[in-house]
Amino acid sequence: MPNQIFINKDISWLTFNQRVLEEAASPNVPILERLKFLSIFSSNLDEFYRVKVPPLLALQKIKKKKGGILAKVNTMVLEQQKRFGYILDEMIIPELKQNGIFFLNTESVPEVLNAQLSELFYTTVAGLLQPVYFDEVPTFFAENNQLYELVVLKTKEKQEKLAIVNIPTQVLPRFFKIKAEGKVFVIFLDDIIRKNMHVLFPGKKIKSVFNIKITRDAELNLSDDYEEDIALKIEKQLQKRDYGQASRILYQPGIPKRHWPEILAKFNLHKTSMVKGGVHHGLKDLISFPLKEKAYAYPTQKPLMNKLGQSTLLEEITNQDIMIHTPYQNYHTVLRFFNEAAIDQTVEEIYTTLYRIAADSRIAYALISAAKNGKKVMVLVELKARFDEANNLDWSKKMKEAGVKIIYSSNNIKVHAKVALLKRNHPSQPYLGLLATGNLNEGTARYYTDHVLLTANTSILEELKMLFDFLVKKQKPGKTDKLHFSHLIVSQFNLHKKFLDLIEREIANAEAGLPSGITIKLNNLEEAKLIKALYKASSAGVVINMLVRGICCLKPGITGLSENIKVKRIVDRYLEHGRVFRFENGGLPEIYMGSSDWMIRNIYRRIEVCFPVYQESLKKELSQILDIQWKDNVQGVWLDAKGRNQPVQQDENLVRSQEQIYQYLTQKD
């Protein structure tokens, strides 16, 4: 896409991760949560190099020249890693020390700990180590995201010799808490090994030790071959994932240049992106930092209970629509929807989509019970949900054994919709439905902000049944007669055109002098035609307010292009995840929610479902939540025309939206 009107999506994503990193620097965030934000930043970056960088490396190889986006990416990442080190070493570690906790990140290990570390090494660590001399193996395969210590040895002949030692974090904790002389020390597993490295190389002088980590391409190779069962195909590919092409070698500074040719040859990493890091890598492990005291974490925010009458939830839904806002409100209502469906005698059939299934899913258990209770249960499990493939596959097998009919999407398309449908033996309301912006996953619902609509609206749910019937047939969109949706907005059928039409209507209203305006909340914004439509609306005088958490390829605030568009990004204790769309419609606002971002993948390579909110009380409630978020001047930042995070000017009225939404919902109840 031309740079003059679009921001590169990879650069934009890195600015989002920069915003996550800056939360770790905030003095208003409890120190344990700041360590968690460092962990999230590191985990995000690992995934970026597994998913986003391989295509950039391939593009560079095709063009046969360096520079371009990959060079910009590497420059930004290097600067961010320097900032990461500063935040950890100069801000967080001194504050921990003030609280009597000595986190040994760059400091040397005190002699007073030697005896305890030696005991730990021999009793806990030593049996898990596999030192390898480079000159004794033809090649060495470095596992994905596995931590290693590169050891430079000096032989008796005064020659240098290289060896590699694994750091067994898949078995042992990354951090150990040790008490000595009235102080609390937190030490890396890496440094326990390093302190005792001489044990592994008797008779050799250890000249230096450096930490390294390899990140590998995570893409699964799924061709359009429908002869092989997709579940079997994914199972085979998962076994190969961690053996993919390396996309990054992260290394501790100081490795002598004379050793690099041997290192790269031994690891077979000649064309890999080399990224200079700090002393320690894999700092996503900070999520497990051994600091459990409540005073160091966010205050507990107990999810609000959803008040229901004396009747069942299913009966309540027949009387009026119900909306749940997670994690502010308890997810029990969603679990209850499936639990009641499993035993309710009027429910004959259950249909649902599952994209990321919880590890111990109560929803899956309810579906299994429903099938065993004689109900027809059809579940579309998306096996291609990245990094959840194995868990989804395991649950598919369990449900299938219990009599649940399992449907998988075709190889070339993902079903990303978050919907469920109950078909009942009921004269006037044969369907009850659940439509959501986030996964049907009680685990992620604790820290993802999402919205769930429970409805008995027959017009909406008849269209949802039509979609499920289509998905069961496993036909490719476009290879059959187009389904007609009047209420639902479904990618592959009407989503792209519908949103373009809604934007055009706001343009027409603005030009006619009628009330107009667009408020959109998304995770990511990339698709060019929709962005151009927003530019056109801005030029026509439509005021457009956008809440975009992650990638934003739109350039806001440019005269003659987007002067009426503002974009805000919010990062706080919960991950902003809901997708909401409000169009002023000449003074009669329409609101939609759904699973779809405005990304190329969502619109052209997935089945997504967005849906209208018709009940006036819920439209008002959702609008007020959007308005609170738009006023956020504590955790919100503006995005400028280069995609950079810019502070929001504060006044005496401080608005931290996630806190105020909780208070608003508390008062409403």
- Cα–Cα distances in angstroms (integers) from residue 211 to residues 39, 40, 253, 663, in the given order: 18, 21, 9, 47
The count of residues in the chain is 669
CA distances to 5, 203, 600, 666 from 68, rounded to whole Å, are: 18, 49, 22, 50
Under 8 Å between Cβ of 151 and 137: no
SS3 400: helix
In whole angstroms, give the CA distance from residue 380 to residue 396.
9
Contact of 195 with 167, CB cutoff 8 Å: no
Tell me if residue 325 is catalytic: no
Smallest CA-to-CA distance from 579 within 524, 508, 630, 521 is with 521
Collect all residues with Cβ–Cβ distance below 8 Å to 273 and sequence separation of at least 6: 49, 53, 57, 70, 74, 247, 248, 249
* Cα 525 to the center of its chain, rounded Å: 15
What is the separation of C-alpha 63 from the centre of its chain, rounded to a whole number of angstroms?
A: 31
Q: Supply the DSSP string of 263-328, one letter for each residue.
A: HHHHHT-TTSEEEE--SS--GGGGGG-S---GGGSPPP-PPBPPP--SS-HHHHHHHS-EEEEETT
Q: Is 438 left (phi over 0), alpha (psi -120 to 50) or beta?
A: beta
CB atoms closer than 10 angstroms to residue 575: 18
Under a CB-based contact definition with an 8 Å cutoff, are residues 570 and 592 in contact?
Answer: no
Which residue in 325, 416, 496, 577 is the catalytic one? 416
Which residues are known catalytic residues?
416
